[in-house]
Structures are given as structure tokens and as C-alpha cells.
Chain A
Amino acid sequence: MFAPGFLTNGPVLTAIVVGGGAAIVSGIVGVFTIMRGQSFAGHALADVSSAGGSASFLLGVSPLLGFTGMAVIAAAVMGFADMRDARERDLLTGIVLGAGLGLTALFLYFDITSMSTSGAAITVLFGSMFSIPSTIIPLTLVVAAGAIAAILATYRPLLVSSLSAELAEVQGVRSRVIGLAYVLALSLAVALSAMTIGAILSTALLIGPAAAALRLADRPGTAIALSVAIGLAATWGGILLAYDSFYWTPGHGWPVSFFIVTLVLLCYVAATLLGSRPRAIRGT
């Protein structure tokens, strides 16, 4: 069924490396995103990062630099604002998101009208993995390593503060610092995902595999390992299917992002069905 030459094709290999990095980082960070109830913040950062991605075409810099720069700025704004109240946090997140997408609209307009890069909108918002240049790989690895290092360094304080911010503070954990480190890791994760499957869809890679893993795992380490495995399976499976799809509808293949997001959804549904079995006798 599958077309030959999959693993000898340059753009495919780049997609495998960059997509794999995005899946690993999103898988790790996503578990904490869900535990901390910050899915909306994750989505907002991704949307805001699209302003950087679309500006990168105008500036002539690497799109990953654009996505990352904008996501980190937005994360810093959201991280420094002292918000205990979830409602207030959602409000500010929504406002930052709106402003970011406004910039995206402006930059994409310039991209399309003045630079005749008509594919920019699709690339920024929905990703086009097979057109990622291989020169981006070193920066991908740096961004991925930064996000993973931030999570590993703050692993235990992150877990306690996910349990309860008060319990963390009683132990002397500085929640603000930990929260800031986490939201920076989150911004790097969504920037990588935005680079691969687009800013709009990157939430799927951040939340989907982690949500599926949390249905099945009962330890943090297992949840992270499962989340990474599901993310990688969906990403690499999606790349394979998209590569193959060139032969389904001769002349043009289907977008990789579509396959990845669909596979993530299928994994989530499967995990929900598996996880709904009674796991242990409930206590009385």
C-alpha cells in the first residue's frame, strides 16, 4: 500500500525530525498543561505565535524564530500578570489572543499583497510540513531542549503546585517562579507545534496526546511517556499517510496536519474507551 522512497526523501526526513521534536515536547508539556487547567492559555499562545510566524516572512527570518519569539513574549506577559483568579486569567488570555490574531491578520495581508507569498496564510495557520527547510533542524533541537530542560528542572514543584498552589507554598515552593518557567516551556512547545502543524492546529498536538495519556496512566512518569508515544505515533503516522496520499489523488497530496490531527483524535477516543473500564475498586 505504501509508496516507496519514504525514508530517503529529504523533505520527509526533515518533517520526521521537526515533527518528532514537536511531538516529544508537546507530549511532555501537555500533561502539565492539562493538570494545571491551562489548555486555553496553551491555545492562546499558539494563536499569538502566528503573529510572529507571519511576520517572519516579511522580515526574512526563520519562521520558527518568529513563532518562538512571539510565543515567548506573550508567555512573559501572561506569566508576569499576577492572576490567582481563573476568570481574570481567562479574560486576559482572551485579550492577548485577540490582539495577537489581529497582528497576524495584518502581517499575513502584507505577506500576500506585497511579497506574493500566497501560501503564507496556509503555512502559518495550518502548517505545511513537507516545505520545512532542513536548515531549521538545529534551531528546532535548541528550542526542544530548552522546553524539556525547563520541565525537568521544575518537575516536582510543578507536580505539587498542580495538586494545590497552597500545598506548594507551604513547602517553600515559589509558585510564581515555577509558573513562569512552565509557561515559558509551554510557549516553546506551541511554537514548535505551530511550525509543524500550524498555529491553529498546534493545540491538538499539545492537548490531545496528553489527554489520551491521562485517561490511561496513574503515575506522572507513565502519563508523560504515553503522551510522547501517542504524539509521535500520530505525527509520524500522519507524515506517512500524507506522503502516501500523493498516490491516492494523483498530482497533489493531502495536508499532513489533517492526518496528524485525525490520528490524535482517534487515539483520544480509543483511550477514553479503554480508560472508562473500572480501573480499581473505588474506596468507600
Chain B
Amino acid sequence: MTISPDALVVNHLSVSLAGRMIFEDVGFTLGRGEFCGLIGSNGSGKTTLLRAILGFTKPASGEVRIGQVGDSRSSAPVGYVPQKILLDPQLPLRARDVVALGLDGRRLGLPLPSRTRDARVDEMLGAVGAADFAEQRIGDLSGGQQQRILVAHALVRRPQLLLLDEPLANLDVRSAAEIVALLGRLCDAYQVAVLLSAHDMNPLLAYMDRIVYLANGHAASGKTDEVVRTDVLSRLYGHPIDVVHVRDRVVVMAQ
């Protein structure tokens, strides 16, 4: 078995849904512990790309490789935080239960009391800063707190790859900044590659190692300053684009 340092390899990936090409020939690689922003406006295909990586959507062509060559799906788990989960406030699950279900939710039968299991859940609750509200019902938590619990749910099996679909969409500015900082720390601590979709790259700039920019059915990827440039984005959009730096922020504008 060849050991590859890559957590995710996407090669010449094309996806069409209901006869419409969503994107074509998308390729990029994520190393372990890399933080990558998947940036694009609404409808650019971010969710479809994440779903194709997860295997929920069958690509028209191309390939997705997760973890080491030869790894089966179960030994190379993928963490995933979906965009919208409607959590019924009456769901009888505490934050801790949701994390535990990330560990062994696929197993049949009742969960037997296990110290190792509790210890792993406790460690993950601590890692996402959720120890204080671990005993509360998941539905009683705020959006930012729920997001932390879903991240812990996704990470508790120690995947090499964590995908998050618009995790910042419904958060206020402060909670969003906290989540991004947390993901940056987890990336280093657990050597997990993070691929996070967002329509605005600004909250991610300080943490992003790489960027995949989706527009017009194509993608540009690389280091942030290699991609977020007037010439690269103009080529991608097929239209003149200005990239403007305002203090610490980047603004992408059509001319």
C-alpha cells in the first residue's frame, strides 16, 4: 500500500444534475492539516461539489480519493457538517449524545456503557469548547453552540477530512469568527484537512492555507494570493473582475 500524505484528491471532476452541467474538470488536492476555503456565490456548485466528494452525487466523470490509497470508506471516515439541520427543540438528545452518535451511530444495538467511549466524547466536547453546555438538549442551544456540537460529532471518529457546508451562513459575525478560529485550531491539533464552503472569503483569510474558487462551472485553486487575483478570477468568470484590498479585507467586484 502506497502511503500518500494527501487527505483529499479531486481529479478532473465533472458533475451534471438533471442534464445541466454544474461544473467540469475541477481538480485540487488537500494535504493533512490544511485549511481550505471553497468559495463561490450562491448557485456556483459548492454544495454539489461537497456532495460529490461525500459520494452522495455520482460524478459524470473524474474521481475523488479520500485518505490513503487502498483505504476503504469505513477506515477513512469523512466528517461532514451539513448546511441546514432543523433541530426540533424537543429532540431528546443532549449535546453529549449527539457527539456520541458521531462515534458509533452506525452500529446496531443499544450502546453499552463504556469508559473509552465517554472519554473520547468528553475529549471532543472539550476540544470544541462545549464542555459547559454538554448536558443541555441540543435543541435548546444557540446556532453557534449547535455548530460546535456538529463539528464535534463530525470529528469524534478522527477523520482525515472534514467538510463543512456554509457553516457561517446563519451565524452573527462574532460567532462566525469564533467558529473559524476553532476550526483553525482543530486543523492543527488533529491534523485534519478542512474544506469549508462560504460565499464570503473574508472571515477565513487569516486561517486559509488554500482556496478553491468556483465560478461559471469551473474552479481555480491554489494558495489564496495565487487565486484571488484580477487576472485569475477574470479568466474564471470570463468577464473582467477587480480584486480590491480594503484594509484587511478582500472585495471581488465585476467591472
The chain A residues found within 8 Å of chain B, CB to CB, are: 31, 34-35, 152-157, 159-160, 162-164, 166-173, 213-215, 217-220, 222-223, 279-280, 282-284
Contacts and interface: CB of A to CB of B under 8 A. Distances in A.
Interface of B: 54, 56, 73-74, 77-80, 82, 85, 87-88, 90-94, 97-98, 101-102, 104-111, 133, 136-137, 140-142, 145, 153-154
Interface residues of B, dominant DSSP: loop
B109 A156 contact: yes
A152 B108 CA distance: 8
Nearest to A155: B110
Contacts of B85: 163-164, 167
Contacts of A222: 92
Contacts of B94: 218-219
A167 B106 CA distance: 10
B153 A219 contact: no
B110 A160 contact: no
Contact of B73 (A155, A172, A213, A215): A172
B93 to A, nearest CB: 6
A218 B137 contact: yes
B92 A154 contact: no
A157 B77 contact: no
B140 A172 contact: no
B101 A170 contact: no
Given A171-B106, A283-B145, A163 B101 contact: yes
A160 B101 contact: yes
Contacts of A163: 85, 87, 91, 93, 98, 101
Contact of B97 (A173, A214, A219, A282): A219
Contacts of A215: 90
A274 B203 CA distance: 43
Give the 3 A-B residue pairs with the shortest CB-CB distance, closest first.
Answer: A160-B105, A223-B92, A171-B106
A169 B105 CA distance: 10
Given A213-B92, A214-B92, A218-B93, 6 more contacts: A153-B109, A155-B109, A164-B82, A170-B154, A220-B93, A283-B136
Contacts of A154: 108
A222 B141 CA distance: 20
18 contacts: A156-B104, A156-B107, A156-B108, A159-B93, A159-B105, A167-B102, A168-B106, A169-B56, A170-B154, A171-B102, A173-B106, A219-B97, A220-B97, A223-B92, A279-B137, A280-B137, A282-B142, A283-B140
A167 B138 CA distance: 15
Contacts of B79: 170
Given A159-B101, A280-B136, A282-B140, A218 B108 contact: no
